[in-house]
Amino acid sequence: MSETDKVFAGSIPENYDRYMVPLIFEPYAADIAQRAASLSPSAVLETAAGSGVVTRALAPRLPRGASYIVTDLNQPMVDYAASRQPPDTRIKWRQADALALPFENAAFDLVCCQFGAMFFPDRTSGYREARRVLKPGGHFLFNVWDRIEENVFADDVTNALARMFPNDPPRFLARTPHGYHDVALIRSELEDAGFSRVVIETRAEQSRASSPRLPAVAYCQGTPLRNEILARDTGKLEAATDYAESAIADRHGSGEVAAKIQAHVIMAAV
């Protein structure tokens, strides 16, 4: 993973929330929120919270006396997520690195993280930090995307851009969001970090959009893929988006479109 893979700034947070969240993140956020609420945690830490889709789903389901600290590595994402959340005195927002959490040992019942572990430069270190801040009997709940071939629109966009930039294809989606899908590796790294009772479930959903334009804009302009396109040609962002749109339309039609998305959901206990 390159340093630019972690940069969610500029117009990315707003485009991410406007396009990516309804396209692929909302069903998994609802799933994470349901699983988290079933544990009845009184102290929750969310890492890599992004634009706050899990926060919005989980906060209404937590007990009235619960505390909920929401963090992300990128301050623009923290600011954007906070701006989207209804007032809630239980929630505190702060910028934090999941690999160096600024919290005491055994401070939380639950650490949750939606589609963030793929961005950790050292996942085992990130997992050790999650375990450190969990109380005995606490849980680490997170998800990661399955391989890109199981996530059709992401694969369509990646293949289209490879045709547009054959000498230097932008590979952000395959490299980072979809680059950490080996369940044996995930289990091994969690066990190395000291977790036990690791349960991994592979969950398929449907990604739906009103037109091929929406997934094209979502991936090309609402993720760090935007940075890769601009790095190749600063004038080609709209052309790349148009080309991705055309590729999706050729495969799925020009009206409403739907395609498979798939992720692994992991629960690990201390």
Model pLDDT for residues 153-162, shown as the tens digit of each residue: 999 999 999 9
> What are the backbone dihedrals phi and psi of residue 177, each rounded to the nearest 5 degrees, phi first?
-55, -35
Domain boundaries, the chain: 3-269
Higher-pLDDT residue of 77 and 92 is 92
SS3 per residue for 29-49: HHHHHHHHHHCCCCEEEECCC
Give the pLDDT band of residue 12 (cuts 50, 70, 90).
low
Tell me: pLDDT of 9 over 70. Answer: no
Read off the pLDDT of residues 221-236 as tens digits, 9 standing for 90 and up. Answer: 988 899 999 999 999 9
Which architecture characterizes domain 3-269 according to CATH? 3-Layer(aba) Sandwich (3.40)
E-strand stretches of 186-256: 196-209
pLDDT (average), residues 73-88: 92
Compute the C-alpha angle 23/26/27, nearest 5°. Answer: 100
pTM of the predicted model as reported, rounded to 2 decimal places? 0.92
Starting at the edge strand found earlier in the chain, the sheet holding 134-145 runs 91-95, 67-72, 43-46, 108-114, 134-145, 257-269, 196-209
What is d(CA 87, CA 72) in angstroms, rounded to the nearest whole number? 19
pLDDT 10s digits, 182-206: 999 999 999 999 998 999 999 999 9
Residue 18: which pLDDT band, with cuts at 50, 70 and 90? confident
Three-point CA angle 194, 3, 46, nearest 5°: 45
pLDDT score for 125: 96
